[in-house]
Structure 1
Amino acid sequence: MFAISLGDGAELRPLEPWQAEEFLAHMDRGREFIGQYVGLPDVTADLDSARKWLQVYADKTAADAGRLYGIWLDGTLVGGVLFRVFDAAAGTCEAGCWLEPAAAGRGLVTRAVRVIIDWAIRERGMHRVEWHVASENTPSIKVAKRLGMSCDGVLRENDLYRGVRQDTEIWSVLAPDWGADPAGSRD
């Protein structure tokens, strides 16, 4: 297995089904915080559902249709980043993230997403990387801005989440823009 240093005791590694217990413990620590804007805690409520969700991404990886990576801080799983959608033939993908509250505010997501976007564009030849985010999710929007993404638009009240309609902002970065790296190395 590989691990990529994110600095400050953090690293990025594949997150796989055999790690379901560790993943579930992480979800339990951050369930309420993570669930503010994403449904991941709702679909990983117990060990069996956590293992099944991780298996979905193992299958996506095998099919070259998605990827899943965990963020470990000082040896503890504290979050993750993923390609929810990965379409190599079309040259487009959608990145996403989550993080438990104890790890928030350290730049971990920005650094981790920068690693996977760089891989997608430079190694896999992706032309467009998207970032879908609830309009109320200010921390995630700040990540998109730090990564040099542009806001393409807002899908108004498109997502019924926990009984409430929310807007979704679509942010993106194109391969020619990524090379310029306007965000620099800021976290």
Structure 2
Amino acid sequence: MFVHKIDDDLSLKLIDLGDAERIFELTDQSRTYLREWLPWLDFTKTVDDTRAFIQATLRGFGESRSMTTVILYKGEIAGIAGFNEINRMNRTAQIGYWLGEKYQGKGLMTRSAGELTDYAINELNMNKVEIRAASGNQKSRHVPEKLGFSQEGTIRQAEWLYDHYVDHVVYGMLASEWNKEDE
């Protein structure tokens, strides 16, 4: 099982079916909060919906196309972060994430996304890591900005969000830029 310790309070663990009830509970507790920016809340109505999501992510992991982890904060699942897409041919990875409402404002996502970026570049040998966020989602956009990602552009009307389209801002980090920060 993949577990990556970030610090004494924070770890990333490969998602598994045993996490389904807690993830669904966290989703349900944060439903109104998460619904502002995530389009899948109306399709996640039961723990079985969460199990189906986990099974799909595990298939993606088995096929080396993605990797989804749970964010463990003080031993409790606080959210999800991982690679929504891994493209080995182009050596790119795209990070996606969400955090339960009560875990906001602690720097958990910035630290998690930083560790995922480091893992993608230094362990998976990716040349580029991308993070996309809705243009109006300032909290989500703050994560790549704080990590030093470059804002590369905007994809207009990139996502249907219940009753309207939202633009996505694309951020990128190249391996050569990331590793310079370590020197």
8 Å CA contact 2:39, 2:160 repeated in 1: no
Aligned in 2, Cα 1:8/1:31: closer, same or farther, shift over 3 Å? Answer: farther
**1:71, 1:79 within 8 Å by CA — same for their partners in 2?**
yes
The match for 2:155 is 155
Partner letter of residue 20 of structure 1? A
**Paired residues, number:** 183
Which whole-Å CA distance do the structure 1 matches of 2:174 and 2:30 have between them?
32
Matches within 5 A, 1:32-51: 32-51=32-51
Distance 1:5 1:158 in 2: 34
Shift of 1:125: 0.9
- 1:18-33 map, 5 Å: 18-33=18-33
After TM superposition, the structure 1 = structure 2 runs for residues 78-117 of structure 1, keeping only pairs within 5 Å, are 78-117=78-117
CA contact (8 A) 2:157 2:166 kept: yes
Whichever residue aligns with residue 43 of structure 1, its letter is F
- Residue 8 of structure 1: how far off its partner (Å): 5.6
Structure 2 residues without counterparts, runs of 5 or longer: none
Q: Which runs of 5+ in 1 are unaligned?
A: none
Code of the aligned partner of 2:15: L
Between the aligned residues of both structures, percent identity stands at 26
Q: TM-score, normalised by structure 1?
A: 0.91
Q: 34-43 or 107-116: which moved more?
A: 34-43
TM-score of the pair, normalised by structure 2 = 0.93
Q: Could you tell me how far apart the structure 2 residues matched to 1:127 and 1:177 are? A: 10
After superposition, give the CA deviation of every residue in 1:88-129 in whole Å (9 maximum; x if it has no partner): 121011101100111001110111111111111111110111
